[in-house]
Chains A and B, each alone.
Chain A
Amino acid sequence: MSSSAQLPSQEIDISTSAISPLRNYSGRILTILSGVFVAAIVLPLAWVLWDVIGEGLKQLSWQTFIETRYPAPGLTEGGFGHAIVGSLIVLSTGAVLSFPFGILAAVYLSEFGRGTRLAYLVKFSCNVLTGVPAILCGLFAYAVVVRGSGFSAFSGGLALGVLMLPIVIRSTEEALLLVSPDMRLASIGLGSTRFQTTMRIVLPAAAPAIVTGLILALARSAGEAAPLLFTSFNNNFWSTNLFGPVATLPVMIYVFSKIPFEAQRQLAWAGALVLLVIVLSASVISRYVVHKTKK
């Protein structure tokens, strides 16, 4: 209490003797309770990290990265090298579909369409789209692509692209709004067109923050298994075919967690560690960048 040496709390300190014990103690109990609540949220995180890192490190070896086929049931020979590549293929497809699209849409929202009804509509639907369950993005991609041409890495990329799009638009718009209006005015004053101003001045100035948002969008969808279960599906073997099913790390973890063989379980733990390291480091890095640009 005394640590925040501001006026109001000092007044409380002076008056505590005058407060009835009941009010005093119930306050103290609530303070302790809120501390317990904090622990109830943070401790499970520590527990999860402890187990995933422990189990994952035990199973991880070069073999798991290099081998490009899952072990056959009952056997131990195999790894998830092809699942890492598959994840990369699906993720980059999603990025190619959503990044240019999202960035340009955000340029409209922040540069040309500020305050218009369309901008309001786009923001509203983006916010709602962010809340749409990831598995529905998978159903959408299934309805659009898989029904016609079967399970494919491309359809998985489409599902992840829909997932990423609202994040890309929102974070890019926020990044663009941080660019000082003076820079735009100066650029236009020197005779640049809006295109030149956006491309040469505004986008480069906002680049670090935009990239951070893109990394976050990638990180969030890198861990998604639900939309991939029936789009990119799964594959026991190496495949780089964009229009055929590929293995991905999240789907591998899900599938192997249900299989009663030890070798598969070990791969699932190792895959969980790899996924966790990728996703957590992405969010730590982006947090660091945001922190730095805000200063």
Chain B
Amino acid sequence: MTSAAREYDSSQDISIEKKMDTSRALDVGFVRLTLALAGFAGIILIWVILQTTEAALPAMQQFGLGFLVTTRWNPVEDIYGVLPQIYGTLMTSLVALVFAIPLGIGTAIFLTEDFVPKWITAPISFAIELIVAIPSVVLGLWGIFVLIPAVRPIFRAINQTLNWFPLFGGPAPRGNSLLLVGLVLGIMVSPIIISITRSTFESLPRNLRDGALALGATRWETILTVMIPAGLSGIISSIMLAMGRALGETMVAAMLSGNANRINVSLMQPGSTITGLIASQFGEAGRTQVAALMYAGVVLMVLSLLVNVLAELIIRKFQNLQQAN
């Protein structure tokens, strides 16, 4: 379009031709600039991955894959392994999902299936958006001074009555534990499940629901046998995204897990996560220790990339299906 205009002008007046040239150069330069920046944005992820891996390289060479199965973290002897942290990261994310999946899907149903009028659901969805906004370090502070004292008697009671059950066993719990981290993470990640599940339900064709109801299904039979199966891919990807968030959440884990460098089968005992380990040790780490912490960061990155890429692919596939319909 612009080149046609230029030809027209150039036949008329040389001064305009000159002006058109500078503005055309500006135009082309601008487009190229945005192209370059977009390209750079596309490789930033790769840059982050490469740079972190490069910083972890000394530790990777020194400890190899044994790093993943070693249970000691000893800066004095320079022996490092993150098995307890991998265990803690997976366990806290698992506990978080055990809470967040029913809470999230239940709330999403509650908000979409008009059980209650809109003047009740609107403030609820607003409150759920606020949960996402609360800084995790504030939640951690609140957890230390309010939540831990509050759950301690409950944990102790459960621990005493169910001591034979491995997950709740061990000595009298003090409160800070993998279970507590998982609980708080569960509340933190359920808004992700709620918002994606909700928009999935809202995007489902209306006649699916109407058809089930017309066939005589009750409201809940419709939800359980038609809506949830139809929206399953959306729900699954929301769960994956929530898991990715739980894997990488740092401050809550660093402040409430107890940062104990060992594997406890009991969820009520202190543990540690990869993020908590990095946060609590990095500030005053020596050279080998920094490399080891970077290595731990790479392990975390692999875990979270796996989960996030999978979630992203599921969402894309789902979107393509929707567009095809």
Q: Contacting A229 at CB < 8 Å: which of B5, B134, B279, B305?
A: B279
Contacts of B134 in A (CB 8 A): 45, 48, 223, 276, 279-280
> In the complex the two chains form, what is the Cα distance from A137 to B130 in whole Å?
24
Question: Is B254 located at the chain interface by the 8 A CB criterion?
Answer: yes
Within 8 A of A (CB), among B8-32: 23-24, 26-27, 30-31
Q: How far is the CA of A36 from the CA of B95 in the complex (A)?
A: 19
Stretch of B80-88, B102-110, B152-160, B195-203 with 4 or more beta carbons under 8 angstroms from chain A? B102-110
Binds B, one of A22-30, A61-69, A73-81: A22-30
A177: Cβ under 8 A from any B Cβ = no
Question: What B residues does A41 contact at CB under 8 A?
Answer: 103, 107, 128, 131, 187, 190-191, 194
User: By the criterion CB–CB under 8 Å, are B214 and A8 in contact?
Assistant: yes
Whether the Cβ atoms of B133 and A280 lie closer than 8 Å is yes
Counting CB contacts under 8 A, is B283 at the interface? yes
Which one of A8, A55, A125 contacts B42 once the chains associate, using CB atoms below 8 Å? A125
Proximity bits, B210-222, A CB within 8 Å = 1, else 0: 1001101011110
Query: Interface residue count for B (Cβ, 8 Å)?
Result: 100
Given A42-B128, A52-B142, A132-B304, also A27-B220 (CB < 8 A)? yes
- Report yes or no: A35 in contact with B110, Cβ–Cβ below 8 A: yes
Is the Cβ of B247 less than 8 Å from the Cβ of A223?
no
The answer to whether A42 and B30 touch across the interface, beta carbons within 8 angstroms, is no
- Answer yes or no: A295 CB below 8 A from chain B CBs: no
Residues of B within 8 A of A220 (CB): 133
Question: Chain B residues near A9 (CB, 8 Å)?
Answer: 219
Query: In the docked arrangement, what's the CA distance between A23 and B129, Å?
Result: 34
Question: Provided the pairs A11-B214, A41-B128, A280-B133 are in contact, do residues A139 and B294 lie with their beta carbons within 8 angstroms?
Answer: yes
Q: Which residues of A contact B37 (CB under 8 A)?
A: 101, 104-105, 108
In the complex, chain A residues whose CB is within 8 Å of the CB of B271: none
Tell me, yes or no, whether B39 is within 8 Å of chain A by CB: yes
Bound together, the chains give a CA A254 to CA B221 distance in angstroms of 47
Q: Find out whether the CB atom of A223 lies under 8 angstroms from the CB atom of B138.
A: yes
Contacts of A165 in B (CB 8 A): 41, 44
Tell whether, in the assembled complex, residue B221 and residue A23 are in contact, meaning their CB atoms are under 8 Å apart. yes
A193 to B1, CA, bound (A): 9
**B94 contacts chain A at the CB level, 8 A cutoff:** no
Pick the interface stretch among B61-69, B165-173, B307-315: B307-315
Give the contacting residue for B38; candidates A42, A108, A129; CB below 8 A: A108
B90 contacts chain A at the CB level, 8 A cutoff: no
Which residues of A (13-62) have their CB < 8 Å from a CB of B? 15, 19, 23-24, 26-27, 30-31, 33-35, 37-38, 40-42, 44-48, 51-52, 55
Q: Are A44 and B278 in contact (CB under 8 A)?
A: no
Min CB distance, A75 to chain B, in Å? 21
Query: How far, in angstroms, from A35 to B245 measured CA to CA in the complex?
Result: 25
Bound form: Cα–Cα A133–B189 in Å: 13
- Whether A112 contacts B138 by the Cβ 8 Å rule is no
Are B38 and A195 closer than 8 Å at their CB atoms?
Answer: no
Which residues of the other chain, B, contact A55 by a CB distance below 8 angstroms? 145
Known contacts A131-B311, A257-B255; is A125 also within 8 Å of B141 by CB? Answer: no
Contacts A105-B34, A165-B44 given; does A275 touch B142 at CB 8 Å: no
A109 contacts B by Cβ under 8 Å: yes
B55–A12 touching, CB < 8 Å: no
Task: Point out the residues of chain B lying under 8 angstroms from A107, CB to CB.
Answer: 34
Contacts of B47 in A (CB 8 A): 140
CB distance from B90 to the nearest CB of A (A): 14
Residue from A24, A129, A144, A193 having most chain B Cβ neighbours under 10 A: A193
Q: Is residue A156 within 8 Å, beta carbon to beta carbon, of the partner chain?
A: no
Return chain A residues, CB-CB under 8 Å to B283.
229-230, 233
Q: A37–B141 contact, CB under 8 A?
A: no
* Interface residue ranges of A255-289 to B (CB < 8 Å): 257-258, 265, 268-269, 272, 275-276, 279-280, 282-283, 287
Residues of B within 8 A of A11 (CB): 213-214
Contact A45 B131 (CB under 8 A): yes
The 16 listed contacts between A and B (C-beta, < 8 Å) are A12-B219, A45-B127, A104-B34, A128-B45, A128-B309, A133-B250, A143-B55, A169-B41, A226-B136, A226-B279, A253-B140, A254-B255, A257-B144, A276-B135, A279-B134, A283-B133
Q: Which 4 A-B pairs have CB atoms at the shortest separation, nearest pair first?
A: A133-B248, A223-B135, A37-B106, A131-B308
Chain B interface (Cβ within 8 Å of chain A)? 1-2, 5, 23-24, 26-27, 30-31, 33-35, 37-48, 51-52, 54-55, 102-103, 106-107, 109-111, 114-117, 124, 126-142, 144-146, 187, 190-191, 194, 209-210, 213-214, 216, 218-221, 241, 244-245, 247-251, 254-255, 275, 278-279, 282-283, 293-294, 297, 300-301, 304-305, 307-309, 311-312
